[in-house]
Every structure is written in structure tokens, then in C-alpha cells.
Amino acid sequence: MNLLPFQIVVLWSDALLFALLAAVFLLALWARRQAPLRASWARVAANKAAMVSVTILMAFLLIGVLDSLHYRARLDAAPGQAAAGKAIYAVEVTSLLDALLAPLREHPEKTYSAPLATHLFAKEPLPGTEMRDFPRLAWGGAHLFATGQAAEDALAAHHVKDVLQRGVLGAAGGLLFWLLALFIVQRANIAWRRKSAQKVGSGDTAPDSNQAVFLPKAVVPTPNPPARNAVSLTLLALCVLAGVAIGLGTGYHVLGTDKVGQDVLYLSLKSIRTGLLIGTLTTLVMLPVAVVLGILAGFLGGWVDDLIQYLYTTLNSIPGVLLIAAAVLMMQVLIDTHPEWFTTAAERADARLLALCLILGMTSWTGLARLLRGETLKLRELEFVQAARAFGVGRLAIMQRHILPNLMHIVLIALVMDFSGLVLAEAVLSYVGVGVDPSTISFGTMINAARMELARDPMVWWSLASAFSFMFILVLAANLFTDAVRDAFDPRAMS
Amino acid sequence: MNLLTVKDLVIDIGQSRPIDGISFAIAAGECFALLGESGCGKSMTALALMRLLPPNAAVSQGSIEFAAKENQALDLLSLPEQKMRQIRGGGIGMIFQEPATSLNPVMRIGQQIGEALALHGQRQRQAARAIELLTQVGIPDPVRRLDEYPFQLSGGMKQRVMIAMALAGRPQLLIADEPTTALDVTIQAQVLDVLDRLRREQGMAVLLISHDLGVVARMADRVGVMYAGQLVETAPRAAFFERPTHPYAVRLFAALPDPSRRGSQLATIPGSVPPANTRYTGCRFAARCSDAMPVCRTAMPAWRGVENAAANSFANEPPNAAANQAAEKVRSMHAVRCFLECAPQAAAPVEAGKIEVESASPGVAIQGNALPLLAVTGLKVHFPIRRGVLQRTVGHVRAVDGVSFTLHAGRTLALVGESGCGKTTAGKAILQLVPPTGGQVNLRGQSLAGLSAREMRPLRAQMQMIFQDPFASLNPRMRVGEIIAEGMRALAVGTGEVGAAAGKRSSGKNPSTQATPYAARVAMLLERVGLHAGMADRYPHEFSGGQRQRIAIARALAVNPALLVCDEPTSALDVSVQAQILNLLAQLQREHQLAFLFITHNIAVVDYLAHEVAVMYLGQIVEQGTTDEVLRNPQHPYTKALLAAVLPVHGLIRPREPLSGEMPSAANPPSGCHFHPRCPLADAGCRSQAPLDVVISATHRVRCLKIQP
């Protein structure tokens, strides 16, 4: 007998995402105990741009994680069935994010409406009359009509006032929340310092470890004050933005609605998880293949090199979209012919997402592998590799100790480049119709749906603009962060 | 009237000041040499003259005046860019160190020279003028060369083309920035001859930038010694080489390897050139100067003249006949920036290091019929040349073609030759880093041929290699401790024995290497090569070239080898650092009875260090014997030419005939004796008949048809 009012659903992609997070966390714990690694991460922590990026990425990650906690709500049992003791759960799989965003999700409009609008975007014949006018929204600004019963002409001024009022209130709420959070963190920090000072006695190692509490990443030992200030300012900005969004979002569609009247803010937030998954899981599939094959080809040479080169030239010579389309369609047929594998539509959509990751990964490793092969060819002839050979160090050990670490900067750059590239590739594939499941919300599907509306006059710009801004911030933050990581880990750049 | 006058030039890059108050003047037709180690600001000065400084560098004080026409001095620093472009190439020409990267690889020689000609208003008869220029710099068959690309030319030829391009604008001053550093000695001699002849023929002044005392002695009229962004001594050549006065200059001379210092230590300059952002309160050299007085650390020494006997003999030598006698006198004065009244004698450290010459070379006496440590017989390394779609082998590069020698414990065999003669490949083939095509390598009587990697592993500990480039030979991503421990880990040596004292000293300081069983030995090795045990946790980029080379030596020593193959271990280092490394190697040889196979092109180092010498030419040893036999009594014409090309630092410059031509390709060696196309003695027999070894004495063998036993 399940006492919970819901049934937990763990999708495959959820499991993979949490496994990835756990791996990162364990790696971070391990890295904390390695002095040189900690020193390198400390350099990252001292970098303002990097820490701002981390904060933003963490916000995105938080949304992604909230959206990955799936469940099926228990339905109120019909009076007759209650005695049976068998709970009935909703067919629809929802996530924690869906629950938090319920007001946005549950108040669709009929079709397009501009951000913060009170009326639909297009004129329609009003019911009961012969006139065509902009009908009122079902939810956006509905409270204005409910409370004030204001006349249509006085509405505009009233509307502006209401928006400002809600915005300022929201911002103040965000600020308050930020101050409260800061206060709690400070107190915790002081308490922790006192405790560890007692424990250590002399306390000279204390400042090294305690401040990690302050920052989202546990691996960060001592951020210097400017970076700490930058982080708290970023948090302030995020809090205020969230406050404004909440303040306005309870009465309006903050970023408008799309063709079928769904809230664009909700769609954008939901797209984050898809973007993160495609970016990270695909990279996970592609990276080992690219690194192993690239290094093997470059270092061993001979027939191994020939084989791997033929493999990737062949793969490269097939038009990418065609190959992916074929693979996705095959996968789709497979999924469609085996409905018994999936209990819910969400699981099926999830399987399609994973299949897309796998296929994208299998086709996108060639560029990185080619790059790594070339670099390995160069490194192989360097004298430190010769010296290792003179010691009789095995080939595997040379590749692992001498070649791989000297390739990591390329891998890191490629990782981020691919992350952004893959998020974009998803958009392209969704356009062709071979991307994610139509029921999965993603930046690609959003852009695809908004594409034609740019040609309208007046333009429907908000769908595209919000998808673009969210994607842009995500990719930019990832880029800046990787840049800082690469600099911090390059021993030649240290001074 | 001076052609170029530099006054109190100061260059800033951000907070650092690489050039701090340099003044010198160059008269028309004169060759002034800036001498100094890397990082002292020589090249920066040259770039400032051309106004080609990097964007972050700025001239903050001083003036540069250039007398482009008679009685009309231009201030180069305030000249508009438009005018400056005419000065570059037209007034001042420049040639660079690396001929391989100074020419555009996708333009024909004729086009590149034509471009330089067109820029300086010589649009008519370009081809004829280009041919004339190529003839001037001594390029044979210039008409054909005009249509060739740079890759079809050898390094020496490329440098000649660079000189021809610099001459295209008929400059009055030529800046030569290390013009021959990248070239072999025989080619260096040819290029320097060309430069010297052109200077005399065209009355062109030359600003020569070099770290090589020999090149400066050969070329310069006057010398300026630079140290840490300042000139510390200026003098006419004869006076300078006869009696260097600044402690830095004195020590540079003392650090040169020399046969008279065999078995004793070379004088070294402790430390290294300070970084450009150092702040000074006193003399810049005080920190490294053993004669430093308290005043040296607090006050900047002013220029003072040096009483010099040689100045008189020099006075009638310079070619220019400037009217101003007084100015001439000042210009040719020997001046130094030092508080010391009399020049210090570098002899002191040499005497201190004079450790019993007899016992220093115990290995010299070969014990009768003792088994040699290393015996190489008929070693061959041929690289296949593959062409076409199917990668068929169409020929072989005979990099090493039948090399034989033996090496006993505690002795040094120097393998000498120009680049491309196969000496490095031979070294690698002995270590089995390159699979030999034929021949035998026996280590303590055990053949290395056909051993599997597993069988080879125990033997790897016996022989190790030190590489030429200390910047490429250490993995930048590994810490020094890991680098040194790598061999021990791979070959499982060094865990048992623990240097207790060294272990204690380093305990607690570096927890990460302390955890490994090798930490104690790593610490001991670091101190053994003159570094601190605490450096094990640092990365290679934190070390200077000399320190890196010490780390590389420690890495090789870690597995207790009996044989070290040293591949040009000092050619990338400055003279003073070279002396430190050579001293270290000599000391290690004495203490561990190490045998060195020393691969080098530097005859002075060979003369100082080696017991035996083998001269290689095109994959074959043409002459071998003891150092005295080969260097004092050379028999083979190639050995003679090689020795003649070495530029002496002391004494008179011998008139000599430089070796003509360049080494042919090993893919297509000449018939008969490989040396015959360049040999002054060659006749028809040499072209058809390959020579065999001629035994001159028990140890001396020569491969030449012209020599009778």
C-alpha cells in the first residue's frame, strides 16, 4: 500500500542524469583531497567570469534537476472504488517543475498573445456580436476585469500600473529572499568556522575548507573576495529576476503564449532539461569514442590508423542529416512496433530522446577524433615520449600518462563547442522532423514552431526571442566556464 | 659622422623594462656586434631600430638617429610610418635567425626578391637585378633558382636568399640577428664570408647580434656586451678579445669549453639571467658576480675607460676616415660599466675546480682486453621512401649506413658531424628507439637485436638518453617528481634503496610525492643534479632551460644507467649554463663510471669533454680515434674542413678555404666516396670506388682513398 500521494517514475534519462551528477560529485570529493587539483580549482574559483558562469549554470542545472524528478499523481478515487484499496494514478507523468509551474501550465490561452498582454494577438469575431476585435485572455490580466470591472478604455492605464506594481513587489521579494539567504549562509559560515577552529585548535587550515559551503561547488576551496562578490551579485540578479517572474507570472503570461496558447516561459523552462540532456549525454557517448580512436590512430599508426581513418572518412562522407534521419526513423519504427515496452507516453518520448543522443553521439565523434589524431601524431615525436620509450614504458601507459593529459585542453574546448553545437543540431533535426518526440518540449521544437511566425506582420517574436535568450545564456555560461577551467589546468599558462 | 646613433634607449613592456638605457653608435661601413645571452634584450634593441616592436612594448625614453643622407640625421622614433617604411629595407635591412621561417613557402625565390626590389623603386629589369643579387651572395646557378620555391633550397641557401632580399633596397645598415645560429659550422663559415665580403664591397654597416663569441670575433669591428637590458662593456674587437674587463664578459670567456681545461671544471656563472621585470638598485650583475663589493649592490656603476695597449694597434685599422678625431677616439674607446679597478681573473674558480687531472680520467686507460660496455658493428638504419597510392617502397634514406665503434665504461665517445649526417638516428638506434635495419648492437656482450619489448626492459636501465631540447623533453603536464620517478616505476628500480638523509629532509613538505615509494630517491637525485628536493612538486614550465636539462639528467640517472646517450644536451643553452651542465656531466662520469655517447656538432665541447671522437658524414664514420689524434692530427679532408670552419675565439683568424657546397641527401648519396663532390682532393677513383677503413694507429682509423697507412 503506497502511502504517498504519488508514484515515483524514474525515466532512463533521469537515471543517467543523476548518475552523471553523482559521478561529478564523487569526482569533486576525490579532487578535494588532491593538493594540486585543489590548487587548480582554486584558480577557477578566483576567476570572476568563471564563478558567475558557474552560478548561472547551477541555476540551469537546478531547473533541469527539478524537471527530472518525475511522478504520477494519485487521482482522487471515485467513491465506489475507494474500498478496493487500489490507488489509481494519472496517466500523465509530471515533474516537480511542472507542479511548481502549475499556474503557468494550467492556464492556456486560445492562441498567440504578446508578453504581459491582456488580449489575444489576433482579432476574432466576438461571440454574440458581428464585430471582430481582440478577445480578452482567459487568464492573462483576467484579475483586472474581475476586480475593477474597468471599462475597456481605462484598462490600459490600469494595466500598466498593475504590471509595475507586481514587478516591483516581485523584485522586492527577490531582494528579500536574497538577503535572507545571504544572512543564513553567513551565520552558517561563522558557526562552521567556530566549530572547525575548535576542532583543529590552531585553525590555520580552517579557512581552506570552510568556504566551500558558501559556493555551490564543493570542490572550490578558497574563492577570493572579488569572485565571492561576483557570485553573490549574480545570485542577486537571479533572485530579482525570479521574483519579478513570479510576481508577474501569477497574473500574466510573462513571455506571452504560443500558437496553441501555451505559456512561453513554461516552455522555455521545460526546454532547459532537454537541452542539458542532449548536450551532456551525447557528449558522453561521443567523447570516449573520439578520444580512444583518435589517440589509437595517432599513436599506433600502421593498419590501426588506416582502419580508423577509413571509418571516419566513410562516416563523414555520408551527409550527416541523412544518416541521423535514417537512424532516428529506424529507431522510431522500432519504438512504435513495440508499444509494450513503455507504460506511458513520457517513457516513449524519453526513449526517443535517448536514441537521439546515441545517434548524434555516434555520428559526431569524427571531427574530434581527427583533431586528436593529428595532435597525437605531433606529440608522439616529442622527446618526452621518446624518453618514456627509452624507459620501456608500455604503449598504453604512454598514451594514458603522456598523450592524454596533453590533449585535454582540446577535449575541453571540443566539449563545449559540441555542447552548443548539439543543442543547435537538435533544433535543426526537429525542423526536419526527426528530432525529439513532438510531445517533448525543447528549444528545437520551440524555434521550429516560431519560425514561420517571424514572417507575420506584426511579428510574433517572443517565442523565438525567449528560446534564443535562454539558449544563448546557457551556451555562453558554459563557454566562459570551460575557458577558465582550461586556463587553470594548463600548467604552461600558470605564472 | 655616425650612421646610427642610439641614445639612452628605454623600452617598457607593461611593468617590466627589457631595455634600460642603451647608447651606442655605428659608423658607416662598420660592424658593431651586440653580444649577450638569451633574454638580455639584443633582439628587442634591433626591433626598436626598425620600429617593429610588439604592440605591448613601447619606447619610453631615448632617441634613435639615422643618417640616411649626408648631414641629415632622421629621428626614427618620430618619423611618420610612411617615411619609416622607406627606411625599412631601404635604409636599414634585416635578416633573421631562422631561414626556414623567414621566407614565404608559397612564393618563388624570384617573386620574393622582386617584391623587395619593387618596394624600393626598382621596377625595371627586376630579373636581371635579382640574378645580380643572388650572384653577390654566392648562390650557384641563380637563373634556375629564381623559379624555385624555398623548400627546394637548403638552410644555408635560404639564408643567402634572405641576405639578397635585405640587400635589394641597398641599405646602409644591415641588422643581422643571429644570422648563422641555425646553421652548421661549415655553412656558417660560408654565410659569414658572404656577409663580410658584401660589407667591405658595399661599404655597408652591420649590426650583428650574436651570443657566439666565435662569430663576433670573426666579424665585428667593435663589440658591445649586453646584460639584462644594458650595455656593460664596449670595446674594439682586438681590445675586447685580448682583455675583456667586465666580470660578466670575463666569465663568459672562462665558461667556454676549451682543450686546455680538460679534466678541470669550467668556470660557471651562478644563477641565470634575471627576468625582465626585476627591479635593480645597483649593478645588474652584482647578484651573480663573485667580485661584488657592497657598493655594487647600492649604486649603479658609471662608464669608465680602460687603459688598453691594444687600442693603439687598433687605431689605424678601422676603415672610416671621419674628420672628428675626438669623437673617433671616444667611439673606439674601451669602456666598461663596473666599479672594479682591475679586471677580475676568472682563474680562481678554474683553479678551485682543478681536481687532479690524472684521476679525473681514470677510464682513459682501457684495461687490456676488457669487454667493452657498448660495441656497435655495422649499424644500419634505412627509412623506406614510400610513393604512390599503394605506398610502394621506391627507395631508402640511408640515415645510418654501417657505423661501428666501441665504448668502454667511464669514457666519452663524441659523435661529430653536421646536421643530417645521421648521428642522432644512430644514437636512437642504439637505444632501440628506432629499429635498426642491420648490424649489431652489443651491450656488455649481449646483442640487442631482435629482443622483444619484455626482454629489452631490464637492459633499458643500462642505457638512457638526454635530449637536445629541454623544453620538449619534459612532459608539461607532469610534476618533476613524477617525471623522475617514471623510469623507476617502469623498470621497477630504486624502491629498495632509500637515501635516508634526503628522505628525511623532504619529509612532510611535499605530501603528494611523499606518498610514493620513490620520493626519497627523487629527492636524492634532485640534489645530486644541483636542484632542491622540494622542487619535486613543481611543473617543468617553472624552470629555466638549464634547470630543465638537469631534471632530464636526473630522470636518466634514476635507473642507474651505465651508458648515457647525450644528444646535443647543451646546444639549446647559453654559454654560462652550458658550462654548468658540462661540469655536472663530467662530475657524474667520474663518480659513477658512466660512459657517454656524446652527439654534438660543437667541436669545442668535444675537445673539452671527449676521450674519443668519431666524425660522421652522410651516415658513415669517416674518421675515428682519440680526441688528440682526430682533432690535432686530422687525416680525412672532411675532418680538416670541419675543424677549419670552427671560429676561434682567441688568437688570429686563420685565412682558410671554407668547405664549399652542402651535404647531399641521404636518400641519394653520391657514388664512391660520399664526400667526393665537396672534397678538394677528389679524383676519378673517389667517384667510383667506396673507400675502406685505413688504420693509422691502434685507435685511429680513416675512411679515405687518399690516405696510405
pLDDT tens digits, B573-604: 888 888 888 999 999 999 889 999 999 988 88
Residue type, B41: G
Residue type, B13: I
Point out the residue among B457, B486, B541 whose CB comes nearest to the CB of A491.
Answer: B541
Q: How far apart, in whole angstroms, are the C-alpha atoms of residue B184 and residue B182? A: 7
Task: Identify the residue whose cell numbers are 660578466.
Answer: B248
Whether B478 sits inside 8 A of A401 (CB atoms) is yes
Buried b (16+ CB within 10 A) or exposed e, B207-220: bbbbbbbbbbbbbb
A432 vs A400 pLDDT, higher one: A400
Q: What is the mean pLDDT of residues B107-113?
A: 90
Q: Which residue of B has its CA nearest to A384?
A: B473
| Closest-CA residue to B397 (of B386, B408, B411) | B386
pLDDT bucket at A490, cuts 50 / 70 / 90: confident
B53 pLDDT above the threshold of 60: yes
Tally of CA atoms within 13 A in the half-sphere of B103 that contains its CB: 30
**Residue of A309, A383, A410 for testing the chain B interface, max B β-carbons within 10 Å:** A383
Say whether pTM exceeds 0.80. no
pLDDT of A199: 63
Chain A residues near residue B490 by CB distance under 8 angstroms: 388, 391-394, 397
pLDDT bucket at B352, cuts 50 / 70 / 90: very low
Chain B residues near residue A393 by CB distance under 8 angstroms: 486-487, 490
Chain B residues near residue A34 by CB distance under 8 angstroms: 512
- Inter-residue contact B93 to B179 (CB < 8 Å): no
Whether A386 sits inside 8 A of B475 (CB atoms) is no
Q: How far apart, in whole angstroms, are the C-alpha atoms of residue B507 and residue B702? A: 56
Whether B490 sits inside 8 A of A388 (CB atoms) is yes
Chain B residues near residue A494 by CB distance under 8 angstroms: 539, 541-542
pLDDT bucket at A53, cuts 50 / 70 / 90: very high
Chain A residues near residue B451 by CB distance under 8 angstroms: none
pLDDT of B307: 63
- Inter-residue contact A74 to A58 (CB < 8 Å): no
Whether A35 sits inside 8 A of B511 (CB atoms) is yes
Q: Which residue of B has its CA nearest to A383?
A: B473
- Please give the share of chain A, as a percent, with pLDDT higher than 70: 89
Q: How far apart, in whole angstroms, are the C-alpha atoms of residue B237 and residue B211? A: 15
- Inter-residue contact A220 to A42 (CB < 8 Å): yes
B548 and A CB contact within 8 Å = no
Q: Which residue of A has its CA nearest to B561?
A: A391
pLDDT in tens, A100-138: 888 888 888 888 888 888 878 877 777 777 777 777 777
Q: How many residues does chain B have?
A: 709
Q: Is B12 helix (H, G, I), strand (E, B) or coil?
A: strand
* Helix (H) or strand (E) run with residue B414 in it: strand B412-416
3-state secondary structure chain A: CCCCCEEEECCHHHHHHHHHHHHHHHHHHHHHCCHHHHHHHHHHHCCHHHHHHHHHHHHHHHHHHHCCCEEEEECCCCCCCHHHCCCCECCCCEEHHHHHCHHHHCCCCCCCECCCCCECCCCEECCCCCCEECCECCCCCHHHHHHHCCCHHHHHHHHHHHHHHHHHHHHHHHHHHHHHHHHHHHHHHHHHHHHHHHHHCCCCCHHHHHHHHHCCCCCCCCCCHHHHHHHHHHHHHHHHHHHHHHHHHCCCCCCCECCCCCEHHHHHHHHHHHHHHHHHHHHHHHHHHHHHHHHHHHHHCHHHHHHHHHHHHHHHHCCHHHHHHHHHHHHHHHHHHCHHHCCCHHHHHHHHHHHHHHHHHHHHHHHHHHHHHHHHHHHHCCHHHHHHHHCCCCHHHHHHHHHHHHHHHHHHHHHHHHHHHHHHHHHHHHHHCCCCCCCCCCHHHHHHHHHHHHHCCCCCCHHHHHHHHHHHHHHHHHHHHHHHHHHHHCHHHCC
B33 pLDDT above the threshold of 90: yes
Whether A402 sits inside 8 A of B479 (CB atoms) is no
Indicate the average pLDDT of chain B: 82
Chain A residues near residue B455 by CB distance under 8 angstroms: none
Q: Which residue of A has its CA nearest to B391?
A: A302
Q: How many residues does chain A have?
A: 495
B668 and A CB contact within 8 Å = no
Residue type, A103: P
pLDDT of A59: 93
Give Cα separations from A422 to A279, A312, A328, A330 (angstroms): 6, 19, 15, 21
**Residue of B432, B460, B463, B486 for testing the chain A interface, max A β-carbons within 10 Å:** B486
How far off is chain B from A476, nearest CA to CA, in Å? 28
Domains identified in chain A and CATH numbers: 270-493 (1.10.3720.10)
Whether B475 sits inside 8 A of A397 (CB atoms) is no
pLDDT of A310: 94
* Helix (H) or strand (E) run with residue B551 in it: helix B545-557
Q: How far apart, in whole angstroms, are the C-alpha atoms of residue A430 and residue A271? A: 13
Q: What is the mean pLDDT of residues B239-266?
A: 84
Q: What is the mean pLDDT of residues B387-402?
A: 83
Give Cα separations from B57 to B39, B52, B84, B94, B499 (angstroms): 15, 10, 18, 20, 49
- Inter-residue contact A480 to A53 (CB < 8 Å): yes
B271 DSSP assignment: S
Q: How far apart, in whole angstroms, are the C-alpha atoms of residue B551 and residue B539? A: 11
Q: What is the mean pLDDT of residues A11-39?
A: 85
Q: What is the mean pLDDT of residues A196-215?
A: 49
Give Cα separations from A105 to A262, A363, A448 (angstroms): 7, 36, 21
Residue type, B608: Y
- Inter-residue contact B466 to B567 (CB < 8 Å): yes
Whether A382 sits inside 8 A of B555 (CB atoms) is no
Q: Which residue of B has its CA nearest to A391?
A: B487
Point out the residue among B428, B453, B475 whose CB comes nearest to the CB of A392.
Answer: B453
Tally of CA atoms within 13 A in the half-sphere of B528 that contains its CB: 25
Cell numbers at B525, concatenated: 637525485
Task: Identify the residue whose cell numbers are 661540469.
Answer: B583
B506 pLDDT above the threshold of 90: no
- Inter-residue contact B466 to B556 (CB < 8 Å): yes
Comparing A36-45, B32-41, B403-412, the range with the smallest average pLDDT is: A36-45
A103 vs B217 pLDDT, higher one: B217
Q: What is the mean pLDDT of residues A310-336?
A: 87
A34 vs A246 pLDDT, higher one: A246
Question: Cα-flanking dihedrals φ and ψ of residue A79, to 5°?
Answer: -50, -35
Point out the residue among B433, B476, B477 whose CB comes nearest to the CB of A386.
Answer: B433
pLDDT of B613: 94
pLDDT of B651: 57
Chain B residues near residue A388 by CB distance under 8 angstroms: 486, 490
Whether A393 sits inside 8 A of B428 (CB atoms) is no
pLDDT of A2: 57
Whether B486 sits inside 8 A of A391 (CB atoms) is yes
Q: How far apart, in whole angstroms, are the C-alpha atoms of residue B495 and residue B488? A: 8
Chain A residues with at least one Cβ partner in B under 8 Å: 34-36, 382-384, 386-394, 397, 401-402, 405-406, 408, 491-492, 494
Whether B539 sits inside 8 A of A393 (CB atoms) is no
B538 DSSP assignment: S
Q: How far apart, in whole angstroms, are the C-alpha atoms of residue A369 and residue B350? A: 56
Comparing B126-140, B283-297, B313-327, B475-489, the range with the smallest average pLDDT is: B313-327
Give Cα separations from A418 to A49, A86, A284, A286 (angstroms): 21, 48, 11, 10
Contacts of B21 (CB under 8 A, 6+ apart): B8, B9, B10, B61, B62, B230
Q: Is B571 helix (H, G, I), strand (E, B) or coil?
A: coil
B329 pLDDT above the threshold of 50: yes
A140 vs A101 pLDDT, higher one: A101
Point out the residue among A35, A387, A406 whose CB comes nearest to the CB of B473.
Answer: A387
Point out the residue among A390, A393, A394 whose CB comes nearest to the CB of B465.
Answer: A390
Point out the residue among B460, B479, B542 whose CB comes nearest to the CB of A390.
Answer: B460
Whether B490 sits inside 8 A of A386 (CB atoms) is no
B32 and A CB contact within 8 Å = no
Q: What is the mean pLDDT of residues B449-469?
A: 87
pLDDT of B332: 64
Task: Identify the residue whose cell numbers are 476585435.
Answer: A133
Please state, as a whole number, how many other Cβ atoms lie within 10 Å of the Cβ of residue A165.
Answer: 12
Cell numbers at B675, concatenated: 664526400
| Closest-CA residue to A13 (of A321, A243, A354) | A354
| Closest-CA residue to B157 (of B547, B502, B661) | B661
B514 pLDDT above the threshold of 50: no
pLDDT of A217: 41
pLDDT bucket at A225, cuts 50 / 70 / 90: low
Whether B541 sits inside 8 A of A36 (CB atoms) is no
pLDDT bucket at B396, cuts 50 / 70 / 90: confident
pLDDT of B153: 85
How far off is chain A from B515, nearest CA to CA, in Å? 12
B428 and A CB contact within 8 Å = yes
Contacts of B558 (CB under 8 A, 6+ apart): B484, B485, B487, B488, B493, B494, B521, B522, B525
Q: Is B372 helix (H, G, I), strand (E, B) or coil?
A: coil
Alpha helices in B120-209 (DSSP H): 126-136, 142-145, 155-168, 185-202
> Measured over all CA atoms, what is the biggest interatomic distance in chain B, rounded to whole angstroms?
79
Chain A and chain B share a number of CB contacts under 8 A equal to: 79
Q: How far apart, in whole angstroms, are the C-alpha atoms of residue A302 and residue A311? A: 14
Q: What is the mean pLDDT of residues B47-68?
A: 89
Whether A383 sits inside 8 A of B473 (CB atoms) is yes
Chain A residues near residue B456 by CB distance under 8 angstroms: 392
pLDDT bucket at A180, cuts 50 / 70 / 90: very high
Q: What is the mean pLDDT of residues A453-469?
A: 84
Number of H helices, E strands in chain B: 28, 24
B512 and A CB contact within 8 Å = yes
Task: Identify the residue whose cell numbers are 662530475.
Answer: B587
Using CB atoms within 10 Å of the CB of residue B283, give its burial: 0 to 12 exposed, 13 to 18 middle, 19+ buried: buried
B530 vs A296 pLDDT, higher one: A296
- Inter-residue contact B322 to B330 (CB < 8 Å): no
Whether B478 sits inside 8 A of A36 (CB atoms) is no
Point out the residue among A391, A492, A494 whose CB comes nearest to the CB of B559.
Answer: A391
Give Cα separations from A357 to A18, A324, B489 (angstroms): 16, 10, 41
Question: Cα-flanking dihedrals φ and ψ of residue B57, to 5°?
Answer: -100, 140
